[in-house]
Structures are given as C-alpha cells and as structure tokens.
Amino acid sequence: MAVGTITPGVGSLPATPSAIKQTVASAYVDLRDSGWAQQYLPDLMDKEAEVFGNRTISGFLAQVGAEEAMAADQVVWSEQGRLHVSAAGVIAAATGIVTSNGHGVRKHDTVVLNRAGVGTLKCLVTASDANTFTVLPYTQAAMNTGSGTTFTNGAVTGFVFGSEHKKGTGVHEKALEPSFASLENKPVIIKDLYEVSGSDASAIGWIEVSGEEGQNGYMWYLKANGDTMARFTDYCEMTCIEGELTAAGAGTATPLGAISGTQGLFSAIETRGNVMTGGYGSPADALGSMDLLLKRFDSQGAIEENMMFLNRTYSLAIDDMLAGLAPNIGVGYGLFDNSADMALNLGFTGFRRGTYDFYKSDWKYLNDATLRGAFTDVNGVVVPAGTSNVYDQGLGKNMKRPFLHVRYRASQTESRKMKTWITGSVGAATSQLDAMEVNYLSERCLVTQCANNFFSMT
C-alpha cells in the first residue's frame, strides 16, 4: 500500500497574526463589501471557529524544571569533574612516550592503554611531566616489540587503574586536585506590546471569540489582548529553549546595544551534551539507537529515569519499535486492558530498556507547523528526571536542584518574572495617548545542569 501525500488547500487560514495595529480586511469579518452589498443579508454565524485547538506551546519547562528568583546579572554554578583519570594523546611506540597536554597521569601509576586497531596493554608509568608521560608494558619488553600486542606510532587513549611502588620508597610524587567546571548564563529581557485605540476599544464586534487565556466575548480587542498574552508566554519559554549566547565578532554584538544573548536548552545540549543523528527510520534502527543511547548513559551519570519529548515521527518510530518486539517477548498493545468494547491502544507512554526507564511524551513545540514542526533538525530531546547536587556560588553551599530550572530577576520590591502594565487614556487615564497600551516584560534565563546527561535527536 502506497503512503499518501497531504497538500494544504489554497484557502488555508493564515498561520501568523498581523502586526498591523489598525483594523484590516485580513483580520476582521468585513460585511460591508462582502455582505451588505448583496441582495440578501448573509446568514452570519456569530461564533469564531477554533480550527487550531489550543495553540499555546508553553508548559515543557513546567513539567521538567522549576523556577527560582535571582538578583544578579548572571547565574554562576559549578559542576564536578570526573572522578577517575583518563588521557588521550599520541604515542611514540619505540620509546613509550605519550604526548598528552595536561594529562594528570603520575609516575608509578598503572594504566590501561589502547591503540585503535591494534589492541590494549597494561603499563607502568616510569616518568611524567606536564605534557608527556612514559610507559612500559607489564607483559612484553617494549610497546612496539613482543609476542603479544605490538603498538605502532599514533593516537592512544587510556586510564589509570592504580599504582605500584617498590618497598621502602616515599609517597606519590604529587597530589591530584579535584576538577570542576564553572558555568554561567545570563538572563535576557523579553518584551511585547498590545495596543488598541480609544475608538476601537468602544466598538462591539460581531463575532463571539474565545482564547487560550480564557478571554470570551464579542469585543475584538479582548481576543487580541489575550492572544498577545498567550504568545508572550510562549516567547518566554521558547527563549529558554532556543536562546544563543552572542559569540565574539557576531553580527548581534553591536547593532542593538549590549546584546549578550542567553544559552537555551538546545544550545546547552549541543555544546555540553549529546547529539544523536538519525537512527529512527525503522523499528530495528530505533532499537539499535536506543542501545547506543544506553551505552552513552553508562559512560555519563547513569541516571535511571529519563523523559523523552518527541515529535510525531520519532514518537511513532518508538511505538513501532516496541510493537515489533511483541511477538518475541509475548507483549501486545494494551494486552491486559483491551476488550471488544474499547478502542485498541496502539501507543506506549513508557518502557524499560537495560537498567533505564523512559517516559515518552509528544512535544507540541516540535509538531507545531509554525514553529519547529516545519524543521527536521531537532526531532526530540531526552531529559533526566530528578535533581542534581551542585555548588551554588551565589549561596556558597551545595544545593539540590532540578536539572532544568528557570532563573528570573526579582528583589524584595521588584519581580520581573512576568510583568504587565497598562498605559494610555482608556480606563484609568495615565497619559495623553488616545489608546490603551498593554506592556509585557520578563527577564529570565535557563540553567541546564549536568548537560552531559541530556540528548538531542536530530
């Protein structure tokens, strides 16, 4: 059976709101040109049809994160480094000298070295300085001679598994300092504006409207105001998801003043996390990709519970993967709940693979045709559940916080989490402007902790 194609009709509704402030034909029902000029009065349906359903996309961060006030221009936190010492460098096999800048390997350490395509040797470190260390193998005369593994010149990786000293010798030649990463992010100021003239504010519209923010009635400006508020709330969340820090020499560095940007979720995952490309074209591919994901989890924090927020394509691919396992492991769709009187459940909301639990959810942001639904560069994210232990430099102590949390500017007298204020002459007059202006403002940023445990699916 061939898979069909879908093409939007020529008369599809516009997907973006008009930025024009005054009444325009594209935004309002015009009965003068298309209605009153006709021989008979049109049959007017007095309720707006909600063809797109709930259009707001915010809510992702509310599910997986938290919000917390801050009073500074930036938030700084520290993340611990790895416990064990590993190194990568280039070996001169004849001498056993490994060049690896800032390696942390010490004299008398015992190491496991691997040369890709050759094999693995366990070695003793006989000398060490800032950028090199020298090794001798336990099981053969030299790194490049012997009946076992013969190393050649080239790239090697390795790790320390202990140390060995002769009797009566002194202490280790130097101590190791714990490593950590100091990270920071900056809040950005997000603004929006809704305006309606005094004359239009007194006009009664013909269409009954309703919106995501609960606005209902016949006055068109109430609908527009509610839509502006809903759109601004989405902008606050999308800024925390899509934000980018301004790079040195970037085009955004000077034209609008001191624009520093902010690091959003996608940017944090790309720079400090994991990006998985492809691998969900078939159930077999999806299963193989999941196993690669588990291996990567094992090398990172090994956090047992994880949330998967996916677009429709990847969500169905995982459903198909799980369904494909049914004949082999004796599991069916809703095996114990299905009956003749109910709809067949063809979807899964969670599963366990290896030692990890995954909870799957569709992410509206990745499906919306006017947002990420039009692109294919991000198909889903995997976010660890629970909290992490980090050192907060502002508070000077260790804190348990969700892996994702939003910081917003606030003090005892001012909160910039979500501000609105009204100016103009409509209602309570505050200026000579014959209009009502509703101003929206927020100052916030996203803190992505332990990004090495996050995945982006592209």
* Closest alpha carbon to 415 in 437, 394, 442: 442
Widest CA span in the chain: 112
User: pLDDT tens digits, residue range 300-324?
Assistant: 877 888 888 888 888 888 888 887 7
User: pLDDT tens digits, residue range 197-233?
Assistant: 877 766 544 455 555 555 555 444 456 677 788 888 8
Which pLDDT belongs to residue 48? 53
Rounded Cα–Cα distance for residues 245 and 97 (Å)? 40
* DSSP labels, 260-289: -B---HHHHHHHHSEEE----SSHHHHHHH
User: pLDDT tens digits, residue range 111-138?
Assistant: 999 988 888 898 999 999 889 999 999 8
Phi-psi region of 162 (alpha: psi -120 to 50; beta: other; left: phi over 0): left
Rg of the chain over Cα atoms, rounded to whole angstroms, equals 30
235 in Cβ contact with 243 (< 8 Å): no
Pair of tokens at residue 326: 């049914």
Whether residue 426 is predicted with pLDDT greater than 50 in this model: the reply is: yes
Mean pLDDT in residue range 328-343 = 52
